[in-house]
Amino acid sequence: MNALEIKGLVKRFGSHTVIEGLSFEVPENCVYGFIGQNGAGKTTTMKMILGLLKPDEGSIRVYNEQVRYGQTDTNRYIGYLPDVPEFYNYMRPAEYLRLCGEITGCPSGSLKQKSGELLELVGLKNVNKKIGGFSRGMKQRLGFAQALLNEPRLLLCDEPTSALDPVGRKEILDILENIKGKTTVIFSTHILSDVERVCDRIAVLDQGRLRLEGPLDEIKKKHRSGKLLAEFGTEKEAAGFEAMDFVKKTGADVKREGRKVILCSGNTREVQKAILCGLAGMDDMPLKIEVLEPSLENLFMEVVE
Ligand SMILES: Nc1ncnc2c1ncn2[C@@H]1O[C@H](COP(=O)(O)OP(=O)(O)OP(=O)(O)O)[C@@H](O)[C@H]1O
């Protein structure tokens, strides 16, 4: 089942079209990276999913129910973590979650236990100071606890790691890994290494248009760079390999960087075969041979340029 289905979505602000015919589906229980530069349209799309902004064209379905602007029915499935979550600074974390639970009608019997579990999940279990004294990372983690309080089937997080240092980012990514498989997560970001770490699927949005969409591993396979890497234990071994006739005969463009030799060709498979046959007659074996996959950063630059 799909947690989210977006079809032909268009959003204009005056004469400025910021979302242009956006369509994609998010299968249940995946972690979906919604990637784009500043101004690509990520927040605008999230606001339309939440029914807070009116699309000019197209449709959005959450768990097969139509999202309607100004109505919050479909938001019962959704937990939302805005990019800068706001809190009552004079409250302590457990107190704050209790308030949120009471407002949203969490059964009072289970509220205390639920808040305790969530504070543990986000690493704030033993923190009893006022939220006003929290770091950005702690506020972001409390925001996760709040967004998960009503056990949403779909969690929307708007740039949850963008303002954080590497330690804070790692803490947030750990939380996402923890809830992976239990809740569908869509998180928007422009930090590609975060996406590579936790996402199963991605969508790359550029100036309101979808440039790339699908499972991350399939996208990488499809855009394989045509590069084969042979890494040796020493520079001498690599140089010996580079000079071999069977390497030259492949017709590949050969570059050596220290212990690594990279063969670039339009037909990686044939080059790989020839290399493996040739190596059988050599004494110095490479430590590894690998078809290089493009990094998400390279793919991103390719599609948004
Ligand atoms: N209320 C509004 N009125 C007019 N233009 C708007 C409004 N909200 C957003 N925009 C414009 O829509 C475009 C997309 O903005 P949006 O905030 O969705 O991008 P984003 O991908 O979330 O960027 P960021 O990473 O900076 O948050 C931008 O050009 C922005 O200036």
| Ligand 1 centroid, distance to 207 Cα (angstroms) | 10
Q: Based on the domain organization, do 166 and 294 belong to the same domain? A: no
For 248-260, write each residue's pLDDT tens digit.
999 999 999 999 9
What is the position in ligand 1's atom list of the atom closest to the CA of 44? 18
**Predicted-complex ipTM score:** 0.96
Q: Based on the domain organization, do 182 and 231 belong to the same domain? A: no
For 42-51, write each residue's pLDDT tens digit.
999 999 999 9
Q: Based on the domain organization, do 218 and 268 belong to the same domain? A: no
CATH of the domain at 26: 3.40.50.300
3-state class (DSSP) for residue 81: strand
CATH of the domain at 254: 3.30.70
Q: Based on the domain organization, do 151 and 249 belong to the same domain? A: no
Q: Based on the domain organization, do 217 and 287 belong to the same domain? A: no
Please say whether the beta carbons of 154 and 62 come within 8 A: yes
Looking at the predicted structure, is the pLDDT value of residue 293 above 80? no
For 262-277, write each residue's pLDDT tens digit.
998 888 888 889 999 9
Q: Based on the domain organization, do 60 and 158 belong to the same domain? A: yes
For 16-74, write each residue's pLDDT tens digit.
999 999 999 999 999 999 999 889 999 999 999 999 999 999 999 999 999 999 888 89
Name 4's bridge partners. Answer: 26, 62
Confidence band, pLDDT 50/70/90 cuts, at residue 303? confident
18, with CB counted inside 10 A (0-12, 13-18, 19+), is middle
Q: Based on the domain organization, do 165 and 287 belong to the same domain? A: no
- ∠ CA 191-125-95, rounded to 5°: 100
Confidence band, pLDDT 50/70/90 cuts, at residue 226? confident
In this prediction, residue 31 carries a pLDDT of 95
Question: Using a 6 Å cutoff on CB, does residue 208 contact ligand 1?
Answer: no
For 202-225, write each residue's pLDDT tens digit.
999 999 999 999 999 898 888 776
What is the position in ligand 1's atom list of the atom closest to the CA of 40? 21
Domain boundary residue among 171, 195, 222?
222
Q: Based on the domain organization, do 189 and 245 belong to the same domain? A: no
Dihedral pair phi/psi, residue 132, rounded to 5°: -55, -25
Q: Which domain holds residue 13?
A: 2-222
What is the position in ligand 1's atom list of the atom closest to the CA of 162? 25
70 Rama sector, left if φ>0, alpha if ψ -120 to 50, beta otherwise: left
Q: Based on the domain organization, do 170 and 237 belong to the same domain? A: no
Q: Based on the domain organization, do 166 and 218 belong to the same domain? A: yes
What is the position in ligand 1's atom list of the atom closest to the CA of 16? 5
Domain boundary residue among 167, 191, 222?
222
Number of domains comprising the chain: 2
Domain boundary residue among 204, 222, 240?
222
| Ligand 1 centroid, distance to 122 Cα (angstroms) | 29
| Ligand 1 centroid, distance to 43 Cα (angstroms) | 7
| Ligand 1 centroid, distance to 271 Cα (angstroms) | 47
Q: Based on the domain organization, do 208 and 246 belong to the same domain? A: no
* Mutual angle of helices 136-148 and 93-103, in 10-degree steps: 30
Looking at the predicted structure, is the pLDDT value of residue 305 above 80? no
Q: Based on the domain organization, do 218 and 271 belong to the same domain? A: no
Name 32's bridge partners. Answer: 186, 201
Beta-sheet strand order (sheet of 57-62): 16-27, 2-13, 57-62, 65-66
Question: Using a 6 Å cutoff on CB, does residue 11 contact ligand 1?
Answer: no
| Ligand 1 centroid, distance to 52 Cα (angstroms) | 14
For 111-161, write each residue's pLDDT tens digit.
889 999 999 989 898 898 999 999 888 999 999 999 999 889 999 999 988
For 150-183, write each residue's pLDDT tens digit.
889 999 999 988 878 888 889 889 989 988 888 9
